[in-house]
């Protein structure tokens, strides 16, 4: 339900964004302003503003023939994303291990604790948020603002990446925990080399599962 305490455009933006990232809207699905208006009780003008903002984020695509659809990442997109993640995130983990504060370590420990106590798949949104925040905090603990900025810009495609994996491998959040534990242990010990290696294992496993999900989707078509 839309609350009048915030701008209508912001609320519609958050509403559509959540539907895209957490499964209410599928990649390639057309977004119809009239339907969104009926669902939110908001007029067309704030909806159009929200869609323009979502287009800037890369979440929706304005089609040449007219209309707006949810962004549909390709296998090539995922491959390029993996190349970025495999180079950036292990570096972030290495620097985080070497530069992190005690407060940052405690926050990472608390995030991992919350992941362990969360009952997936009853709350996929919270699972997604915790996972993303864990990686984001590692980037921030690296003390490299450029690296953190790049990772924030990739977060939309990373969300699609995770959703593709979970459709085929719904128990992935359980195996992620043990991989996160290994990364956190190295950060706790301030072992940069081990943190880097553990993050490489984690990202590589994600990519393997994403490719597996793509192959299964191709077989089903």
Q: What is the pLDDT of residues 22-32, one digit of tens each?
A: 767 888 899 99
The first and second tokens of residue 2, run together, are: 């839309």
Q: What is the pLDDT of residues 119-143, one digit of tens each?
A: 666 677 788 888 889 999 999 999 9
What number is the average pLDDT over the span 180-202?
98
The per-residue pLDDT of the chain, averaged, comes to 88
Q: What is the pLDDT of residues 106-118, one digit of tens each?
A: 999 999 999 988 8
**pLDDT confidence of 165, banded at 50, 70, 90?**
confident
Q: Is 2 inside a domain boundary? A: no
**pLDDT confidence of 215, banded at 50, 70, 90?**
confident
**Do 31 and 39 form a contact (C-beta atoms < 8 A)?**
no
**How many domains are contained in the chain?**
2
Last residue of some domain: 51, 70, 89?
Answer: 70
Alpha-carbon gap, residue 78 to 166, rounded angstroms: 15
In the DSSP assignment, the letter for residue 29 is: P
What angle, 0 to 180 degrees and rounded to 10, lies between the N-to-C axes of helices 75-99 and 172-188?
A: 30
pLDDT computed for residue 158 by the predictor: 83
**Do 47 and 36 form a contact (C-beta atoms < 8 A)?**
yes
Reference 153, options 59, 15, 20; nearest CA is 59
pLDDT at 5 over 50: no
pLDDT computed for residue 173 by the predictor: 81
Q: Is 137 inside a domain boundary? A: yes
Give the CATH number, domain containing residue 92.
1.20.120.530
pTM summary value: 0.82
Residue 66 sits in the same domain as residue 115:
no
Residue 153 sits in the same domain as residue 59:
no
Q: What is the pLDDT of residues 35-92, one digit of tens each?
A: 999 999 999 899 999 999 999 888 899 998 889 999 888 888 889 999 999 999 999 9
């Amino acid at each position: 339900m839309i609350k009048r305490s915030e701008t209508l455009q912001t609320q519609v933006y958050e509403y559509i964004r959540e539907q895209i990232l957490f499964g209410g809207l599928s990649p390639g699905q057309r977004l119809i302003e009239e339907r969104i208006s009926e669902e939110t009780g908001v007029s067309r003008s704030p909806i159009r503003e929200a869609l323009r903002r979502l287009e800037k984020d890369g979440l929706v695509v304005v089609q040449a023939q007219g209309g707006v659809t949810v962004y549909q990442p390709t296998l090539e997109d995922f491959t390029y994303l993996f190349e970025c993640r495999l180079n950036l995130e292990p570096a972030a983990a290495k620097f985080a291990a070497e530069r992190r504060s005690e407060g940052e370590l405690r926050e990472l420990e608390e995030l991992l604790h919350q992941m362990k106590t969360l009952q997936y798949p009853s709350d996929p949104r919270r699972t997604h948020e915790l996972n993303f925040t864990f990686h984001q905090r590692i980037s921030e603990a690296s003390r490299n603002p450029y690296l953190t900025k790049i990772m924030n810009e990739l977060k939309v495609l990373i969300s699609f990446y995770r959703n593709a994996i979970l459709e085929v491998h719904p128990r992935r959040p359980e195996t992620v925990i043990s991989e996160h534990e290994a990364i956190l242990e190295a950060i706790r010990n301030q072992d940069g080399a081990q943190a880097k290696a553990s993050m490489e294992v984690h990202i590589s496993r994600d990519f393997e599962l994403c490719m597996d999900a793509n192959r299964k989707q191709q077989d089903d078509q």
